[in-house]
């Protein structure tokens, strides 16, 4: 199985194509292709490479994250990853799931609308992710399974005493203000990877 992963920063786009099987432990995925586009919104630098370390670099103007996704997919197409049955699905790191998304979710029009509606909770990050998702859906088609994974999900079961700010309760509820926790995807990866390393060391 091959999965394409997009990670949108405020002015960057990172991506990887990884190969994995159902029993593949965290950190043991096969990295088939990867890249980064930096300084999106101006004169950007593209740095792409595949598993054979064949690299490509170019400095061009990239207006937004949708354009960055198109650049990445154009390059992956030259490697054959966009041919029929080559990429099985696409995953996106989305910073903020607000109170709505407490687990990864299959993307559809309604999910996109909700992510956009809560973009004010992560102004610099959710909107770039939306641009990336929309661009990829146009190119890859509606048949391609796409999943959003949220940084806030890992911390969603924090006890109330840890997630509550010392502000009026009415204000907190009205504006959905509480400690969501961030970098959850990285925290989950480190936790699962440590568990694998610890179990093999015994």
3-state helix, strand, coil in the chain (%, to 5): 35, 25, 35
Strand partners of residue 5:
16, 91
For residues 118 and 96, the answer to whether their CB atoms sit within 8 Å is: yes
> Residue 147 CB: number of other CB atoms within 10 A?
16
Give catalytic status of residue 151 as yes or no. yes
The helix (run of H) or strand (run of E) holding residue 73 is helix 65-78
Residues 50, 88, 151, 157: which is the catalytic one?
Answer: 151
Distance CA 44, CA 14 (A): 13
Which residue shows structure tokens 């048949």? 143
> Residue 197 CB: number of other CB atoms within 10 A?
12
CA distance readout (Å), 6 to 16, 92, 153, 173: 7, 5, 17, 32
Distance CA 50, CA 67 (A): 21
Catalytic residues: 151
């Amino acid at each position: 199985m091959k999965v394409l992963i997009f990670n949108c920063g405020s002015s960057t786009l990172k991506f990887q194509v990884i190969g994995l099987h159902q029993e593949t432990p965290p950190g043991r995925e096969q990295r088939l292709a990867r890249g980064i586009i930096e300084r999106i919104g101006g004169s950007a630098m593209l740095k792409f490479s595949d598993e054979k370390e064949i690299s490509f670099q170019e400095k061009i103007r990239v207006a937004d994250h949708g354009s960055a996704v198109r650049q990445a997919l154009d390059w992956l197409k030259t490697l054959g990853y966009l041919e029929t049955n080559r990429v099985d699905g696409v995953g996106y790191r989305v910073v903020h799931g607000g109170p709505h998304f407490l687990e990864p979710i299959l993307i559809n029009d309604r999910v996109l609308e909700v992510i956009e509606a809560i973009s004010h909770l992560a102004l610099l990050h959710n909107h770039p992710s939306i641009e990336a998702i929309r661009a990829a859906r146009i190119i890859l088609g509606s048949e391609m399974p796409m999943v959003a994974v949220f940084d806030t999900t890992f911390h969603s079961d924090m006890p109330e005493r840890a997630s509550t700010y010392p502000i009026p309760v009415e204000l907190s509820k009205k504006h959905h203000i509480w400690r969501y926790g961030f970098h959850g995807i990285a925290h989950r990866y480190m936790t699962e990877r440590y568990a694998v390393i610890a179990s093999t060391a015994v």
